[in-house]
Amino acid sequence: MGSPLGDFIRTTRDSIQPQSLGLPDHGRRRSPGLRRSDLAARAGISVEYLTRIEQGRDRNPSVAVVNALADALSLNSSERDHLRYLTKITGGACPTHTRPAPPSREVRPSVLETIRLLEPGIAMVTNRLGDVLAHTSGYESVTRGTGLLDTDTPNLTRYVFTDPRARTFFTDWDDVADEQAFDLWLGPSVANSEWFTTELARAAGPDFTRRLNRHVVPRRGALRLSHPSGYELQLLRETLELPSDAQQLIVLLPADDSTAQAVDRLRRGSHGRLRVIS
């Protein structure tokens, strides 16, 4: 049985071409990427020890070993953060033996006032599980007709993986799916993420579970949307973390003039207002 930490190290190793690290190409091999022996040598650990970590038989590597592996894999800052997080949960620092209640859906009044001031801009409050907790009328205007906000408790992650319309709405659906699956690892607690993914996995199928276990840190670029009205939108994302609430305030900004004009036309047909979803 593997572990989140071992899965991440193995998939990252498989994605690295030896030449990119200045290592010789050993020719054809059974699996792609960096050899286990090469990674162990770069990290200064034995192949046997690296094998135990990757297979989940050693779940408590030291900080020095984790840092050495991060250096050997040439991880960027986001990937290093994820490696440290996976080390923590793999080692049992985050208990997962009980099933807690879902995270709070309440949005603080000061956060609601902030998002109200953003009207008629495109903004929402969400959590790492994908629950849409509040949104502006501008957000409603760019998602109208997509089905995203049709339920009483809209959830972006569930929508991406279970609603066929999402694959048309999100131009770069694969990238968005990677982001939503990855964010579940950063949920309010490991147990809450497991509570949600257990419910979602049955409906979402392999497109979801495959991404969840890959641990690929997404590179979040502009968000491209194909609106049902025919407009092609390109939006920049600014995210304000609300760590005490395990929530995020996300603002979407037009990336070009054509998007700004399309958003303006979509707003004219909207009669919505700030919506709080409790």
| pLDDT tens profile 223-249 | 999 999 999 999 999 999 888 888 999
pLDDT of residue 211: 85
Lowest mean pLDDT among 56-70, 97-111, 138-152, 230-244: 97-111
273 against 202, higher pLDDT: 202
The span from the CA of 243 to the CA of 257, in Å, is 34
| pLDDT tens profile 153-207 | 999 999 999 999 999 999 999 999 999 988 887 766 655 666 677 778 888 888 8
Tokens matching residue 209 = 């579970």
Q: Read off the amino acid at residue 42.
A: R
Q: How far apart are the first and last CA of the chain?
A: 39
Give the SS3 label for residue 228. Answer: coil
Alpha helix segments (H runs only) across the chain: 4-15, 36-43, 47-54, 63-72, 77-90, 109-117, 137-143, 156-162, 166-169, 173-183, 190-204, 206-212, 257-268
pLDDT of residue 163: 96
142 in Cβ contact with 233 (< 8 Å): yes
Question: Comparing C-alpha atoms, which of 270, 5, 33 is closest to residue 140?
Answer: 270
pTM for the model: 0.73
